[in-house]
């Protein structure tokens, strides 16, 4: 297992959020380094454009910075896709959450930081932590 945690999309979004109480926590997690997947990068771009109305140059600068802070992204492969289907079926995860679990497991992480999964749950050797659980929104 790697000492580096897997960072879900919400950690990246909050790290670049202005005036959000979760930003400081997200920035610290990102600065410590971690692992992400191509799915996380894709979701980051989608949320940045659609929900936050960021322009392409800003998104590209943020991705460039992200790539200096985290390990090379775990690719979305057919094997990860099939593993995610199995996890979704077996454990009842939403499919995109199962993709996160599958990628984190493939990377050898022991912790996943996400506000979208069940805080404190351990599954397949991964412990889910919501780093924003105690923060006001």
Q: Please tell me the pTM assigned to this model.
A: 0.91
Determine how many CB atoms are found less than 10 A away from the CB of residue 70.
Answer: 20
Backbone φ and ψ of 78, nearest 5°: -60, -40
Residues 27-47: pLDDT tens digits?
999 999 999 999 999 999 999
Cα 93 from Cα 71, distance rounded (Å): 25
pLDDT in tens, 80-118: 999 999 999 999 999 999 999 999 999 999 999 999 888
Of residues 19 and 36, the one with the higher pLDDT is 36
Tell me, rounded to whole angstroms, the distance of Cα 98 from its chain centroid. Answer: 12
Could you tell me if 105 and 126 are in contact, meaning their C-beta atoms sit under 8 angstroms apart?
Answer: yes
Length of the chain counted residue by residue: 137
Q: Find residue 126's DSSP bridge partners.
A: 123
Domains by residue range for the chain, with CATH: 6-129 (3.40.50.1010)
Distance in angstroms (rounded) separating the CA atoms of residues 14 and 20:
7
């Amino acid at each position: 297992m790697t000492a580096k945690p897997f960072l879900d999309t919400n950690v990246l979004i909050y790290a670049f959020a202005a005036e959000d109480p979760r930003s400081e926590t997200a920035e610290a997690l990102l600065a410590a380094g971690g692992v992400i997947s191509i799915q996380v990068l894709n979701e980051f771009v989608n949320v940045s454009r659609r929900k936050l109305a960021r322009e392409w140059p800003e998104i590209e600068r943020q991705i460039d910075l992200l790539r200096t802070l985290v390990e090379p992204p775990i690719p979305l492969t057919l094997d990860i896709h099939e593993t995610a289907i199995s996890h979704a079926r077996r454990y009842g995860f939403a499919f995109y959450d199962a993709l996160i679990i599958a990628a984190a497991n493939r990377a050898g992480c022991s912790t996943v930081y996400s506000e979208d999964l069940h805080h404190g749950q351990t599954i397949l050797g991964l412990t889910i932590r919501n780093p924003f659980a105690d923060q006001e929104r």
